[in-house]
Amino acid sequence: MTCRRVRQQEGEYMSNSEYILEMLNVSKEFPGVKALSDVTIQIKKGEVHGLVGENGAGKSTIMKILAGLYSNDGGKIIFNGEDITKKLNARTAEQLGISFIHQERYVVSHLTVAEMLFLGVEKTRTLFKLMDKRGMVKLAEQMLEEKVGVKLSGNMLVSQLTVGEQQLIQICRALMSDPKVIVFDEPTAVLAKKEAERLFQIIRQLKKDKGVIYISHYFAEVLDLCDRVTVLRNGKKIDTVHAEDVTIDSLVTMMVGRNILEQYPPKTRKAGETVLSVKGLTHRKEFHDLNFEVRRGEIVGITGLMGSGHDKVGIGIYDSRDITGGEVEFKGKKMSYISPDKAVAAKMGYVPDDRRGLGAIQNMTVKENITLACLKDMTRHGIISDKEEKKAVEEQIEKLRIKTPGGDVISGNLSGGNQQKVVLSRWLSDQSELYILNQPTSGIDIGARADIYKIIDEMAKSGAGVLMITQDIQELYGMSDRIIVMFRGETVLELETTSEDMTDQIIVASMGGGAGDEE
């Protein structure tokens, strides 16, 4: 017999034992914006509960309320049978046992792996409370392997790790406190397939005695991993459904309010002359002897698992400081000692995978970010033409459908998808002839992805070459004219895309199939 939650006195509730967390009729309003309107989310014990919606749907707002970073204007929050609405803040959320794995990496780059893992809870020895660095290193290595299945030296600097490895440290750090409810916000956005599958195993183990909230734009993994899914749109709850009762298409329709039948634009592009030629390119530790070309009017996709070196190819072309051999020809001319300044002057554009840290400059306006690469073209006698700058920015905002009140808005206040559009518009406004895109849609909702795919298609159609680095196999296949698969720093497969499904072939190659016999 199910125990119902009944109201006893003002502010007091008898909890329905089925739920470990209830956010009931939650509302939140910012100046001029109704961020949440009467939203209810109930998390059962022993379930993974998916939360989906476009950027701006209200997912981040309701999770910030749960984290104690925002106060709600209406509604109640019940945790473990207790109304915690009034006492919820960042400190009490953690003390109660609510932990968060954020999409953005909250790490300190100059610390070691062990120091980062135990930051704030350092292990000490002796009566003088001296830090036990040796013990921390040993324990850090042990916990990383046990909790997230990764072997890392506790003495390595965080700055030496890949984005994915830094994310795994963040996950391990949260799991150390044994939370009762754990929120995963786009945890696989920077993880390769193998690492993502490892995370799914961890989550399935966690849900046995915890409540898990899983926020993701990757619907295949949402339906595979989650028991139930809540859909938000424009600050309102559309429905909560059982994952087994819906398809990706029906989930998308609920989320965006329309049916997105085709994410990827039809491939009507025509390849022209070679714009980029890479010969024997060798990185000091990530890859060696890479050979490939990118032609005008085509999109070349590069993929691989974490540690394959694929994610360092783009920056190696744009900035040669870590390149130890080989050569890069751009527009028929050999380029040596390439720096970002030199690359930009030659009309190369680079969009990094770390959108917030290295892409859109968070404290600069949309206008300043968009025109950053082409200010010289708008300058007369050392003075920037406000009229030309304003015109260029308005054109890019309209062309890329950037959702912003105007060019003077701080870029950090935009959604992830709109920030990515700002970064893309920076290079479009500079009329780049080669676009290097590293994980261009990581952590971006499906509606914004469709817009970005159209932008990338237009880049190629304009006569530029596009080098797209991605771990999303569907995206890779849907957008690329040619695909390069890497394994342990080498190219193991190169193929042209056809109407035939080659997904299995790409996945097998990325895992080392066809790469030669292992010793």
What's the mean per-residue pLDDT of the chain? 81
* Higher-confidence position of 482 and 337: 482
Both 240 and 366 in one domain: the answer is: no
25 pLDDT band, cuts 50/70/90, is: very high
Pairwise pLDDT comparison (127 vs 478), residue with the higher score: 478
Residue 48 has pLDDT above 70, yes or no: yes
Calculate mean pLDDT across residues 40-46. 94
265 assigned to some structural domain: no
Split at pLDDT 50, 70, 90, the class of 2 is very low
Estimate the crossing angle of helix 163-175 against helix 193-206, to 10 degrees.
Answer: 10
Closest-CA residue to 118 (of 99, 139, 104) = 139
pTM for the whole structure: 0.56
Same domain, 308 and 254: no
| Mean pLDDT in residue range 230-240 | 91
Overall average pLDDT of the 119-145 stretch: 79
Asked which of 281-285, 288-292, 378-382 is least confident by mean pLDDT, the reply is: 378-382
CB atoms within 10 A of CB 289: 13
Same domain? For 115 and 62 the reply is yes
Of 266 and 442, which is predicted with more confidence? 266
How many CB atoms sit inside 10 A of residue 205's CB?
11
Note whether 54 and 186 are same-domain residues: yes
What is the four-CA torsion angle of 291, 297, 298, 299, rounded to 10 degrees? 100
Asked if residue 12 is part of any domain, the answer here is no
Tell me which of 104-108, 187-191, 256-260 is least confident.
256-260
pLDDT tens for each residue of 177-229: 888 999 998 887 666 677 778 788 889 988 888 899 999 877 888 999 999 99
Is the residue at 328 inside a domain?
yes
Residue 471 has pLDDT above 90, yes or no: no
Residue 127 — pLDDT band, cuts 50, 70, 90?
A: low
Q: Does 228 share its domain with 279?
A: no
Whether residue 204 sits in one domain with residue 285: no
Q: State how far the Cα of 143 lies from the Cα of 369, in Å rounded to an integer.
A: 41
Instruction: Please indicate, yes or no, whether residues 287 and 212 belong to a single structural domain of this protein.
Output: no
Mean pLDDT of the 431-436 span: 85
In DSSP notation, 26-62 reads EEEEETTEEEEEEEEEEEETT-EEEEE--TTSSHHHH
Residue 169 in contact with residue 116, Cβ under 8 Å?
yes
Maximum distance among all alpha carbons in the chain? 80
Query: Which amino acid, 303?
Result: T
In this predicted structure, the answer to whether residue 502 has a pLDDT above a threshold of 70 is yes
End-to-end CA distance of the chain: 60
Q: Considering only residues 469 and 392, tell me which one the structure prediction assigns the higher pLDDT.
A: 469
pLDDT tens-digit map of 347-380: 888 887 765 556 566 667 777 777 765 566 666 7
Q: What is the residue range of 215's domain?
A: 19-259
What would the DSSP string read from start to end of 198-222? Answer: HHHHHHHHHTTTSEEEEE-S-HHHH
pLDDT value, residue 298:
95
Across 504-518, average pLDDT = 63
- Give pLDDT tens digits for 439-468: 888 766 666 677 788 888 988 998 999 999
CA dihedral 321, 324, 328, 334 (to 10 degrees): 90
Residues 156 and 67 in one domain: yes
Angstrom distance (rounded) from CA 93 to CA 99: 8
**Are 375 and 249 in a shared domain?**
no
Tens-place pLDDT, residues 373-422:
556 666 676 776 677 777 777 777 777 677 776 776 777 677 766 777 77
Evaluate if residue 291 carries a pLDDT over 60.
yes
Q: Residue 406 contacts by C-beta under 8 Å, 6 or more apart in sequence? A: 366
Instruction: Tell me the sheet residues that pair with 44.
Output: 19
pLDDT at 362: 64
Q: Is the pLDDT of residue 286 over 80?
A: yes
- The tokens describing 352, both together, are 């990094």
Number of folded domains that form the chain: 2
Of the residues 204, 231, 259, the one at which a domain ends: 259
Residues 246 and 312 in one domain: no
In angstroms, rounded to a whole number, what is the distance separating the alpha carbons of residues 438 and 25? 40
For the record, the structure tokens of 421 come out as 């559009």
Domain's final residue, options 259, 289, 312: 259
Range from 17-21, 188-192, 332-336, 505-509 carrying the lowest mean pLDDT: 188-192
- 268 in a domain, yes or no? no
How much of the chain exceeds pLDDT 70, in percent?
A: 80
| Residue 38 confidence (pLDDT) | 94
pLDDT(7) > 60: no
Q: 402 CB contacts (<8 Å, ≥6 apart)?
A: 366, 396, 414, 418, 421, 422, 425
Q: Give the residues across from 108 on adjacent strands.
A: none
Cα dihedral sign for 252, 256, 257, 258?
negative
Could you give the CA distance from residue 418 to residue 433 in angstroms, rounded to a whole number?
Answer: 23
Residue that is last in its domain, among 230, 259, 288: 259
Residue 508, pLDDT > 60, answer: yes
Residue 13 has what pLDDT? 44
Other CB atoms within 10 Å distance of the CB of residue 227:
16
Q: How confident is the model at residue 240 (pLDDT cuts 50, 70, 90)?
A: very high
- Do residue 373 and residue 247 come from a single domain? no
Based on the fold, state whether residues 325 and 176 are members of the same structural domain: no
More confident residue, 314 or 515: 314
pLDDT for the residue numbered 28:
93
Q: Is the pLDDT of residue 501 over 80?
A: no
pLDDT of residue 9: 40
CATH of the domain at 299: 3.40.50.300
In angstroms, the CA 487 to CA 489 distance is 6
